[in-house]
């Protein structure tokens, strides 16, 4: 691992109007939180978007007129991947921290939930991907643990201005069957490794390694249109479909 550049799929999660006051200057534009993922085939199971409340983000224009929100670091990388209007240049439209977009409603590709919300995750790293993570609690132990924390802890929701409606209706969606782990492998893994909260880092690393490998090599799709196909076989296909529809873009770092 980590021998060459890592390729991520950036999932475009569209901010729904009305935007927070900070974004008045972007009224009428298409603004996306862009989440870096290694598992594009799991986007059918998205339940929310994660940002770190204290992390700094920027809104900046990309080619074609859209506006992306990511860390400044990721935006710099993007401008050298020919994604900004001027090669090598990032135009900062808005500076913000995660808390400024907490609870914002979003429209995300492929998920069965019509609207999902931006929620706080404390373990987001500022030096990986875009600092925005899409949440798939069925297949990502980190996501399941963090969503369960928000559901179980009213003070945590209150602290970040999250209402019950943004959290409670959202349950892990069965999208992939993993032999020995059932159709919600992250939930099973969190039970087996006795993960209690998103701060159980060591246990989560184990749970993550386990499900990541198993999901890739042995996972079988349950989603309509891909039923019975193996994850390995459809991963690239599903990624290509989202890119074609302009719902996702490739990004390396
Ligand atoms: B993955 P790697 Cl279903 N901080 O996407 C913390 N985690 C981050 C991040 C950041 N700044 N940027 C991306 N990630 C997460 C889906 C998924 C992911 C599933 C299962 C496993 C999984 C849905 N969340 O990752 O260190 C993103 O979560 C397990 C490795 O570059 C991204 O893919 O290997 C993954 O970590 C990238 O981690």
* Ligand 1 mean position, distance from CA 28 (Å): 31
Find the range with the poorest average confidence among 16-20, 30-34, 111-115.
16-20
DSSP 39: -
With a 6 Å cutoff on the Cβ, whether 133 touches ligand 1 is yes
Helix (H, G, I), strand (E, B) or coil at 28: coil
Question: Across the chain, what does the average pLDDT equal?
Answer: 96
Give domain status of residue 157, yes or no: yes
Six-digit token string for 11: 């999932």
Q: What is the pLDDT of residues 23-53, one digit of tens each?
A: 999 999 999 999 999 999 999 999 999 999 9
Give domain status of residue 189, yes or no: yes
Give domain status of residue 2, yes or no: no
Give domain status of residue 22, yes or no: yes
List, as own/partner pairs, every contact residues 207-214 make where C-beta atoms lie below 8 angstroms and the sequence separation is at least 24, other chains included.
207/141, 208/140, 208/141, 208/142, 211/139, 211/140, 211/141, 211/178, 211/181, 211/185, 211/186, 214/178, 214/179, 214/180, 214/181, 214/185
With a 6 Å cutoff on the Cβ, whether 101 touches ligand 1 is no
Mean pLDDT of 226-241: 97
Measuring from atom 32 of ligand 1, which residue has the nearest CA? 37
Give domain status of residue 240, yes or no: yes
Give domain status of residue 13, yes or no: yes
So what's the pLDDT on residue 4? 81
pLDDT greater than 60 at residue 1: no
Q: What is the pLDDT of residues 119-135, one digit of tens each?
A: 999 999 999 999 999 99
Q: How many domains does the chain have?
A: 1
Cα separation, 187 vs 16, in Å, equals: 30
Cα separation, 125 vs 90, in Å, equals: 21
* Ligand 1 mean position, distance from CA 13 (Å): 16
Domain residues for 175? 7-252
With a 6 Å cutoff on the Cβ, whether 42 touches ligand 1 is yes
Find the range with the poorest average confidence among 55-69, 204-218, 238-252.
204-218
């Amino acid at each position: 691992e980590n021998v060459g550049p890592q390729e991520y799929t950036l999932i475009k999660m569209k901010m729904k109007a009305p935007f927070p006051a900070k974004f008045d200057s972007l009224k009428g534009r298409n603004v996306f939180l862009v989440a870096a993922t290694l598992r594009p085939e799991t986007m059918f199971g998205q339940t929310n978007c994660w940002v770190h409340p204290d992390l700094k983000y920027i809104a900046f224009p990309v080619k074609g007129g859209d506006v992306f929100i990511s860390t400044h670091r990721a935006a710099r990388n993007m401008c050298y991947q020919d994604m900004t209007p001027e090669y090598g240049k990032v135009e900062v439209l808005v500076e913000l921290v995660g808390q400024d977009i907490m609870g914002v409603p979003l429209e995300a590709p492929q998920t069965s939930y019509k609207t999902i919300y931006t929620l706080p995750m404390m373990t987001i790293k500022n030096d990986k991907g875009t600092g925005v993570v899409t949440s798939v609690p069925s297949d990502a132990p980190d996501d399941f643990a963090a969503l369960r924390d928000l559901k179980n802890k009213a003070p945590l929701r209150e602290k970040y201005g999250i209402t019950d409606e943004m959290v409670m209706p959202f349950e892990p969606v069965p999208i992939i069957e993993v032999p020995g782990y059932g159709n919600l492998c992250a939930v099973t893994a969190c039970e087996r490794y006795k993960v209690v909260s998103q701060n159980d880092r060591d246990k989560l690393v184990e749970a993550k390694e386990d499900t990541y490998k198993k999901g890739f090599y042995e996972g079988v799709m349950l989603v309509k249109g891909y039923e019975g196909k193996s994850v390995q076989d459809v991963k690239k296909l599903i990624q290509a479909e989202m890119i074609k529809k302009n719902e996702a873009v490739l990004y390396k770092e």
